[in-house]
Structure 1
Amino acid sequence: MRSQVLFVTFNLAPKLGGLEQVIQRARAALRERADVVTLAQGARRYVERDPDVLRPRIEGLGAYMAFLYTRCMLGIRNHNFDLVVSGSALTALPTLHLAKRFGARSACIIYGLDTIYESSLYQRVYRHAMPRMNRVIAISTATRREAVARGIAPERLIIIPPGCDAELFQAPRDTENLRRHWGLEGCKVILSAGRLVRRKGLDRFIRECLPEVVLRVPTVKLLVAGGNPEGALAHTDDVLASVEGAIRETGLDNHVVVTGRLTSEEMVAAFQLAEVFILPVIPVEGDMEGFGIVLLEAGAAGVPVVATAIGGITDAVVDGETGVLVPPLDYSAMASALIELLRDERRRLALGERGRRRALAEFNWTDISSRYAEALLNA
């Protein structure tokens, strides 16, 4: 008999981000093995074609939490769930209550910010609810460490990293048209991709590192693919404005291209035309880089990474093998690493090839999502 699973998540497509990718893939793998009903955030713009996804009529966290404790029961009261899964620690407490209501096991996936979020009330709820979960899956060693520090028994915790669509990056794209469109002809490209949030440190990178790289490699350009996050609960700063301010202050207008959000095909092409990928994450109180799926995508595209050795990045990048890790805020070391890779094509290609092989062998979503499903069903 197939298991009956209730999946509780505030974060579900069409929202985009690393967390949403993990939830989407884990949920899809569960649906291959079990009957799954999902309680997701509500919004009028969502056109729900899946009868097994239930949403409140009103968007927002408050309306969603109220829905979990009231109206959702109308849609699920006739089910007999074996397992209730929380898509993140944000919904851990109602997940526990629902699990108790159905006499079911409970499980949760945690990422980073959802564990260390700075709110005394949130932390009290976390420390009450999370240790009571039957199974907790952390996406990185750093996230697991933070969870243990907050009272989750190590034996209840396992680490399963995110994956990436590695195969998507293997077929060559037409990069020349985009090179012309973005003014990158004859340039060596450093790529930054993803949602712009403060911990990514891109504005500080432009101010404190990029000028030295431009001085030593005059043909270099930084390609910034991404924008401010939409609908985020925690990341509300206008980081794009900070990045644009840093470009003006340094006078590097001719060495930085900000594209805004790209289509998936444009993003693949952006990776393929880059020489190096940069992720200059900085320490930010109450926030952390749980892993960094973009680092796997860079590897899949055969692009070496220069990043800071902080949070889950140390799980995503093998220093000296698939990229170069430097201490946080050490912009001298970061500049040296970038300059060396931009000048040394042989080493750059070797690191990129090892990253590509690792992404294909260890982080393909088919295998990773199966691991999530099996771990959850065996909670």
Structure 2
Amino acid sequence: MNKKKILIVTRNLPPLIGGMERLNWHIADELGHENEILLLSHKDAQNTAPQNCNFYGVRLNPLPLFLITAFIKTFLICVVKKPDILFAGSGLTAPITVFWAKIFRKKSIVYIHGLDINNDSILYRLIWIPFIKQASSIICNSTPTQQLTLNQGVPSNKITIIHPGVNYPAQTRNFALISELTQKYQLENKKILLSIGRLTDRKGLLEFVSFSLPAIISRIPNTVLIIIGDTANNALNKKLQKKEDIILAAEKNNIRDHLIFTGSVHEDNLSSFYYLADAHVFPAKYIPNDPEGFGMVAIEAAAHGKPTVAFAVGGIIDAIKHQESGYLIEKQDYQNMTQIVVQILEDKSLISDKQCMQYAEQFAWYNLKNKFEKVIVNL
């Protein structure tokens, strides 16, 4: 492939925490091996941005200021650097990249997640959706997102599915760190469930603690749920769940001592928590106007040899292979979720570490570059 100059415009980059942030970082990093990458994001991302990118920063907040300054700076970069392709890391920056691509007669790519194309905001539907539809190419993160995009009237030949990726193989076990975490959180002789993600309403953690966890603990009293992640204060979707409400639900069911909140953790610690866990739970709810885009944490868990038990909603159906890397449960069937989790805790041989890891390998970040290069070649 001929080397291209690609301008990536995104608000979602580390040190902000989340699957979209990791995804955009790896897109820039992998494409940067064969192309010249210009990366426009919030100023805090400069120190952690991939080294093979030319970084340009604007203020993260407030959101309108980010969009306005990113719009202006994109114009200036187009004038000075003359990129061949403008790439929006999510639907949020689609109007910026698609508009200037048309003005400068360049190609545009938009990577979208479920909420990017199925947003109930009137303003978003009037402005953002039309720009997304006018992109030269649209990349969807999952099969359900592709269907939502088709429902908006986008021709199928414009759409490609590229799932988010995972570090593979996973980090090797850090036995010293695992021992340290075991002692710190008193995890000796515990059955460990892991929940990873920002505390939004869609993730359904409050409901899991209310409707499934008490029955699981009744069956297996030494079970603990480790909750990694905080309330998503920087998320655009403000339908949040509060730590205090989750604790209150646990107290009502007399299981408060079975919850461990770690907040956000370093990547090394996260890997060790995966190794410590018996299973990962992903009780995302079915919310038609707020779909779960994919479910990278399920792939990360599989890369560490751990199965995920999840409701079969949104893009999660692309992230888990039923009975191979985990279990997909009918939406909001908390009784069945309880039963499956108990079975896994009682019999770890139901799904082997090897099965999980073999499934995860297809999502390795090193496969991402080839998939994106096919899109670029076909523009």
Q: TM-score, normalised by structure 1?
A: 0.92
Write out per-residue CA displacement over residues 190-235 of structure 1, whole angstroms, 9 at most, x where no aligned residue.
1111222111111110111111111111121111122112422223
Question: Which stretch shows the higher mean deviation, 225-234 or 208-217?
Answer: 225-234
1:296 aligns with 299
What root-mean-square deviation, in Å, do the aligned CA atoms of Structure 1 and Structure 2 show?
2.1
Which amino acid letter does the alignment assign opposite residue 325 of structure 1? L
Distance 2:39 2:350 in 1: 47
Counterpart residue number, 1:119: 121
Question: Displacement, 1:149?
Answer: 1.1
> Aligned-pair distance for 1:375?
1.9
2:363 maps to which residue? 363
In the alignment, which residue of structure 2 is the partner of 1:242? Answer: 245
Residues 83 and 377 in structure 1, CA contact (< 8 A), matched pair in contact too: no
Change over 3 Å in CA distance of 1:241–1:150 after alignment to 2: farther
Shift of 1:289: 1.1
Aligned to 1:24: 25
Q: Distance in 2 between matches of 1:347 and 1:57?
A: 49
Listed one character per residue, the Cα deviations across residues 285-333 of structure 1 (whole Å, up to 9, x for unaligned) are: 5312111111011101111111100111111101111111111111110
- What SS does the aligned partner of 2:29 have? helix
Partners of 2:201 and 2:239 within 8 A in 1: no
In structure 1, distance between residues paired with 2:254 and 2:59: 48
CA distance in 1, matches of 2:255, 2:82: 60
Within the candidate set 192, 197, 220, 1:194 is matched to 197
Query: How far, CA to CA, are the matches of 1:94 and 1:206 in structure 2?
Result: 41
Cα distance in 2 for partners of 1:48, 1:321 equals: 35
**Is 2:173–2:275's contact at 8 Å kept on the other side of the alignment?**
no
Change (3 A) 1:212 1:149: same
SS at match of 2:61: coil
What SS class does the counterpart of residue 192 from structure 2 fall into? strand
The aligned amino acid for 1:338 is: V
1:339 maps to a residue whose letter is: V
Structure-2 separation of matches of 1:274 and 1:13? 25
1:162-241 to 2 correspondences below 5 Å: 162-174=164-176, 175-235=178-238, 237-241=240-244
Q: CA deviation at 1:18?
A: 0.9
Unmatched tracts of structure 1, length 5 or more: none
Q: CA separation of 1:58/1:325 partners in 2, compared to 1, >3 Å: closer, same or farther?
A: closer
2:275 to 272, 276, 288: 272
| Distance (whole Å) between structure 2 residues aligned to residue 226 and residue 75 of structure 1 | 35
Q: Secondary structure at the match of 2:166?
A: coil
SS of 2:32's equivalent in the other structure is helix
Q: Classify 1:377/1:27 alpha carbon distance in 2 versus 1 (closer, same or farther; 3 Å).
A: farther
Contact kept in structure 1, 2:247 and 2:256, CA below 8 Å: no
- Which stretch of the first structure deviates more once superposed, 50-59 or 305-314? 50-59
Could you give the per-residue CA deviations for residues 50-92 of structure 1, whole angstroms, max 9, x where no partner exists?
7822223573321122224435433441333221111111111
Question: What corresponds to 1:110 in structure 2?
Answer: 112
Moved more, 288-297 or 110-119: 110-119
- Which range is displaced more, 201-210 or 71-80? 71-80
* Structure 2 CA distance for partners of 1:304 and 1:8, relative to 1, 3 Å: same
SS at match of 2:175: coil
- The equivalent of 2:42 in structure 1 is 41
Cα distance, 1:96 vs structure 2: 1.4
Q: Sort the Cα spacing of 1:328 and 1:77 in 2 relative to 1 into closer, same or farther, 3 A.
A: same
- Report runs of 4+ in structure 1 exceeding 6 Å deviation: 48-51
State, as a whole percentage, how many aligned pairs show the same letter: 27
Residues 7 and 36 in structure 1, CA contact (< 8 A), matched pair in contact too: yes
Aligned to 2:375: 375
Cα deviation for residue 236 of structure 1 reads: 5.7
CA drift at 1:30: 2.0
- The equivalences for 1:332-351 within 5 A come to 332-348=335-351, 350=352
One-letter code aligned to 1:353:
K
Partner AA of 2:36 in structure 1:
D
Name the TM-score, length of structure 2 as normaliser.
0.92
| Counterparts of 1:120 and 1:376, CA distance in 2 | 32
Change (3 A) 1:309 1:152: same
Q: What residue ranges of structure 2 are gaps of 5+ in the alignment?
A: none
CA distance 1:309–1:236, change in 2 (3 Å): closer
CA change 1:208–1:142 in 2 (3 A) is same
Query: Does structure 1 residue 256 correspond to structure 2 residue 259?
Result: yes
Contact 2:114 2:145 in 1 (8 A): yes
SS in 2 for 1:278: strand
Question: 1:57 & 1:320 partners in 2: Cα distance?
Answer: 45
Q: Distance in 2 between matches of 1:195 and 1:68?
A: 26
Question: Could you tell me whether the CA contact under 8 Å between 2:15 and 2:48 is conserved in 1?
Answer: no
1:99, distance to aligned residue in structure 2 (A): 0.3
User: Aligned partners of 1:189, 1:238: CA distance in 2, in Å?
Assistant: 22
Compare 253-262 and 369-378 and name the one that shifted more.
Answer: 369-378
Q: Kindly tell me: are residues 145 and 75 of structure 1, through their superposed partners in 2, closer, same or farther at Cα, counting changes over 3 Å?
A: closer
C-alpha distance in 1 between matches for 2:283 and 2:64:
34
Deviation of 1:121 (Å): 1.4
The one-letter code of the counterpart of 1:331 is: Y
Equivalent residues of 1:291, 1:312 under 8 A apart = yes
Alpha carbons of structure 1 residues 316 and 256: separation in structure 2 relative to 1, 3 Å: same
